Amino acid sequence: MENGNATGPKIYAFVNQKGGVGKTTSAVNVAASMARLGQKVMLVDLDAQANSTSSLGVDKYTVEGGTYQLLVDADADLAENTLFHQELGIYLVPSSPDLAGAEVELVNEEGREQRLLNAFKQGEDYDYILIDSPPSLSLLTINGLVAAEAVIIPVQCEYLALEGLGQLTQTINRIRSTINPSLSLRGLIMTMYDGRATLAREVVNEVRQFFPNNVFENIIPRNVRLAEAPSHGLPVTVYAPASSGAKAYENLTKELLMGDGVALAV
Ligand SMILES: Nc1ncnc2c1ncn2[C@@H]1O[C@H](COP(=O)(O)OP(=O)(O)O)[C@@H](O)[C@H]1O
Ligand SMILES: [Mg+2]
């Protein structure tokens, strides 16, 4: 598969090796908004904690197959490892605690960094594939970066927000110079913004200086509805559609789609 080919899906990996910065929240809510806007979207849960999976109301302990299967079995069928969420119109490749063992199982396997890329060759009819990565730069994250056309980096609006982004950029460059030359940076999402705090504004400015032209204009506010929604197994756009968090993710998704040249009905 040629990454970035005009007919295949756009594949974005949500990555930041820091935990708790909003990777899962962003992947889930962007996926839900994309589906509402008529895109055929697949969300791939690449974290053994399976937070995207549970955020969509799927019990991770009942999952059979899913991401684990796609990684450990080179012949795994993508459709067989995908769940369709009828109400949300999202396709989900779920994760399960098994995924924690995948790395060890793959350690001596040929092509272990390309498992996800190969599996996605069966997903040509999707508009978007969104990958939610674990908080590490492990083999799981590498599989996401190898399969992706571009990276989306959620950054929490807090002190030391930029810390670790140098290491992430190095990893991206290494993947680019080896397995996936076309890997690009799609953008940084500023998350958990508290408009009353001077620090939050300073952090946004600092990140914008560091990554000019790469920070999405729509900033995600700190909003309790975003934190509550996962325990109801729903994206915030369904759980609390009028909330500031839901509006922010909807607008961010529109910004993303329009930037990709997707025509949106008004
Ligand atoms: N904008 C936000 N406002 C309030 N809480 C948020 C927001 N974004 C994420 N959270 C909460 O913060 C925690 C970490 O977010 P999460 O998306 O799971 O981060 P990551 O996937 O990077 O570890 C979760 O409990 C989530 O519900
Ligand atoms: Mg997460």
Per-residue pLDDT of the chain (266 residues; tens, 9 = 90+): 334 435 799 999 999 999 999 999 999 999 999 999 999 999 999 999 999 999 999 999 999 999 999 999 999 999 999 999 999 999 999 999 999 999 999 999 999 999 999 999 999 999 999 999 999 999 999 999 999 999 999 999 999 999 989 999 999 999 999 999 999 999 999 999 999 999 999 999 999 999 999 999 999 999 999 999 999 999 999 999 999 999 999 999 999 999 999 998 76
List phi, psi (to 5°) of 135: -80, 65
Ligand 1 atom index nearest CA of 51? 18
Which pLDDT does position 7 carry in this prediction? 72
Nearest of 90, 60, 65, 62 to residue 75 by alpha carbon: 65
Say how far apart CA 202 and CA 119 lie, in whole Å. 42
Say how far apart CA 217 and CA 187 lie, in whole Å. 10
Nearest of 51, 131, 127 to residue 89 by alpha carbon: 127
Structure tokens at 70: 């796609």
Which pLDDT does position 265 carry in this prediction? 77
Say how far apart CA 44 and CA 93 lie, in whole Å. 5
The response to whether residue 230 sits with its C-beta less than 6 Å from ligand 1 reads yes
Average pLDDT of the chain?
A: 95
Say how far apart CA 29 and CA 221 lie, in whole Å. 13
Question: Model-level pTM greater than 0.85?
Answer: yes
Residue 126 region by backbone torsions, left for phi larger than 0, else alpha for psi between -120 and 50, else beta? beta
The residue whose CB lies within 8 Å of the most ligand 1 atoms, and thus the one to mutate among 18, 25, 131, 152, is 25
Instruction: Compute the residue count for the chain.
Output: 266
Residue owning tokens 């995948």: 102
List the domains of the chain with CATH numbers. 10-259 (3.40.50.300)
The response to whether residue 222 sits with its C-beta less than 6 Å from ligand 1 reads yes
DSSP 8-state code for residue 178: T
Whether 2 contacts 181, CB under 8 Å: no
List the alpha helices (DSSP H) in the chain.
23-36, 51-55, 67-72, 99-105, 115-120, 139-147, 165-177, 198-210, 224-228, 236-239, 244-259
Q: Ligand 1 centroid to 37 CA: how many Å?
A: 23
Whether 191 contacts 157, CB under 8 Å: yes
Nearest CA to ligand 1 atom 23: 20
